[in-house]
Structure 1
Amino acid sequence: MDVQDSGDDSVEHDSCSSVDSVVSFESFFPSILRCGFLRDDLDCLSTVTLPPRPTVAQSSKTPPCYTSDSQFRNTIVAVTNKFRCEHNATALKWNRTLEVSSQNWARKCRWEHSTSGENLAMGYANVTATVQAWGDERRIFNFNKPRFTHETGHFSQLVWKGTKTMGCARFDCGKANPRDRDDDAAHGWYVVCQYFPPGNVVGVRSFEENVQPRVSGGVPRLKSGVFEWWALAIVLAGVLVGIEGVCYG
């Protein structure tokens, strides 16, 4: 897929009503300094190239972050970049071309991949839980022998260092029909995310270079292992005033 990044990569920072909006470091400091600051919204949170198998959950709840375009976009970018931050990958920018492509595929309600560099999920209670499910695959990812597997492919795409932009969409595919024997049909809230350049590229050292172990504490270190003093100062300031809230749903 020939994907061009749009000129406008800005993402608004609306928040759910139950999430506190506080001073943001979004525009001032690299994402690596914000790994530990995102908080769970008690009202929204639930407890889910080579394409990985799509992830499935069951939920009947419809939080505002599925129905609001801006909250959906803000949330999925924020949670994605939190995981990327924790694995030494730069923050992704929003790509409107990928957003349109993802929307076109989501509306088909087909439970299968349309292209490489794509993550799918359906049935999760909220957007946060969707990305969390992809990211939680890191628990079984073998960082000593990094490679593609269907069980960890969502995670490796999520944090792939070579990826620079993302675009996502969601569509309510409705309830499953007991008489429908089509295993390729999506049901409930169907989330499609596409990434460019795509990850999960099989090649010499590609996974070792692009899927890195979790950064301890989310704070950058010098090669000597000593914390950078300025990073610590920013982290302490962040603890005191927090960062801008996002909709965790």
Structure 2
Amino acid sequence: MGKITVEFLQTHNTYRNKHGAPPLTISQDLCRSAKSWADYLLSIKTLQHSSGGKFGENLFYTWSSGGKSLTGHFTQVVWKDTKELGYGVATDGKTVFVVGQYLPPGNFTNPGAFEKNVLPPNKTPAPGKGEYM
């Protein structure tokens, strides 16, 4: 795995650990899909979810004028039943799109799904760090 992939996975798993969710693994299929979608978003310069709904999805978009950015769906990151992660990045030097895709998807609103899958943060110190995760 490349450095960015390791950092992306470790960051997700740090938040998941804090919320009592098991670690994710990288899916190369999801990475290819997310990269393709990030490339498309860059070409149209619009932040929108892909269609189909077969996986969960997080989008990040930033542009150079004013340092503005948009992001959403933290609960998908910590959704307990999600097992796999893929990401893709596209940039033209001024604009950056990052797409994260997740299987199985999360953020379901049926009764009890949120409570079962998005646990409150734990208060356990990080091993050897003396700080809370």
Q: TM-score scaled to structure 1, two decimals? A: 0.44
Change (3 A) 1:208 1:155: same
Change (3 A) 1:174 1:206: same
* Secondary structure class of the residue paired with 1:209: helix
Between the aligned residues of both structures, percent identity stands at 34
Bigger Rg, structure 1 or 2:
1
Counterpart Cα distance in 1 of 2:98 and 2:6: 14
Q: Is the 8 A contact 1:103 1:169 kept in 2?
A: yes
Q: 1:52-84 CA distances to partner (integer Å, 9 max, x unpaired)?
A: xxxxxxxxxxxxxxxxxx121111111111000
In the alignment, does 2:82 pair up with 1:163?
A: yes
Post-superposition offset of 1:204: 1.6
Match of 1:76 among 1, 8, 11: 8
Q: Give structure 1 stretches of 5+ with no counterpart.
A: 1-11, 13-69, 135-152, 176-187, 220-234, 241-249
Higher RCO (CA-CA < 8 Å; seq separation 6+) = 1
- Counterpart residue number, 1:198: 105
Q: TM-score scaled to structure 2, two decimals? A: 0.79
Q: 1:223-246 CA distances to partner (integer Å, 9 max, x unpaired)?
A: xxxxxxxxxxxx3xx349xxxxxx
Q: Give structure 2 stretches of 5+ with no counterpart.
A: none
- Counterpart residue number, 2:57: 118
Counterpart Cα distance in 2 of 1:124 and 1:158: 23
Match of 1:89 among 12, 18, 21: 21
Aligned length: 119
Structure with the larger strand share: 2
- Counterpart residue number, 1:100: 32
User: What CA RMSD, in Å, does the superposition of the two structures yield over aligned residues?
Assistant: 2.4
Residue type matched to 1:105 in 2? W
* Secondary structure class of the residue paired with 1:103: helix
Match of 1:189 among 59, 79, 96: 96
Match of 1:207 among 114, 117, 129: 114
